[in-house]
Structure 1
């Protein structure tokens, strides 16, 4: 198990999974509010340049991240269970956010699994997500604790 706020990556031949978890001193509803307000991401999240669309069941999103500012990721909301679970992704991967109530606080977990049959052909071109995940979790914690 990773240390609080420290990302861990599991590399396999046909997939890669990166996870991070952090405890936030704010209720899940506060954290959920930040995670589901697409337009505000660049205000609180230093890893995101822009996020457009609707974070709702079946919603479509366009994400530009600092990890690859030249690319716009076209994503679909795959799971929406307020205020516990949110997932979005594309054909190659899914990012899942899980919120667990901890006596008025929140245990936040973020996991992204990417892969598939052709993954080995381009895996070496995908940068590590570790630092970005750690920053995402730290930014969310700071924003939620200010708000909530």
Structure 2
């Protein structure tokens, strides 16, 4: 068994799920509301491959494949090493709740090299919290 490492954050947003979906799928505006992202190359659409550059790890590039549910309420970004040696699956889930949207974000890391790579991984908890807070602020911002 290789184990798993997980990071998560969630938040209640005073905006409809479609408005939140528009925020999390607009690659061109990520740097305006998420200071942890320095650039996103590509379009955040089902089946596309994008490259996310993040401040965590010194502006490191993270290539991922995007998969979206047809309902626009769930999306995953999957990346890692060949042959499943190390894999990260980031899941975004939007649930309509109390006239707004509950956003749940989590990422699970797995694979035979997790023990080695996991020791040098920074704590992603603060950046995940920063992300969901940024989504909230952007989705609730008057247009």
Instruction: State if a TM-score over 0.5 links the two structures.
Output: yes
Taking the aligned partners of 1:147 and 1:38, their CA distance within structure 2 comes to 20
Counterpart of 1:106 (choices 74, 91, 101) is: 101
Is residue 2:127 matched to residue 1:137?
no
Taking the aligned partners of 2:17 and 2:45, their CA distance within structure 1 comes to 17
Question: In the comparison of the two structures, how many residue pairs are matched?
Answer: 137
Is residue 2:46 matched to residue 1:75?
no
Counterpart of 1:124 (choices 106, 119, 124) is: 119
| TM-superposition CA deviations, 1:14-45 (whole Å, max 9, x none) | 22111111000000000000111111100111
Give the superposition deviation at 1:147: 4.4
Counterpart of 2:25 (choices 36, 41, 49) is: 36
TM-score (norm 1): 0.86
**Structure 2 gap segments, 5+ residues each:** 81-86
Partner of 2:88: 93
Q: Is the 8 A contact 1:41 1:51 kept in 2?
A: yes
**Structure 1 gap segments, 5+ residues each:** 1-11
Taking the aligned partners of 2:117 and 2:54, their CA distance within structure 1 comes to 19
Taking the aligned partners of 2:38 and 2:92, their CA distance within structure 1 comes to 19
Give the superposition deviation at 1:13: 5.9
- Structure 1 stretches of 4+ with a deviation exceeding 4 A read none
Give the aligned CA root-mean-square deviation in angstroms.
Answer: 1.7
Q: Is the 8 A contact 1:76 1:88 kept in 2?
A: yes
Give the superposition deviation at 1:97: 0.4
TM-score (norm 2): 0.89
| TM-superposition CA deviations, 1:61-96 (whole Å, max 9, x none) | 011111123421111113343421011121311101
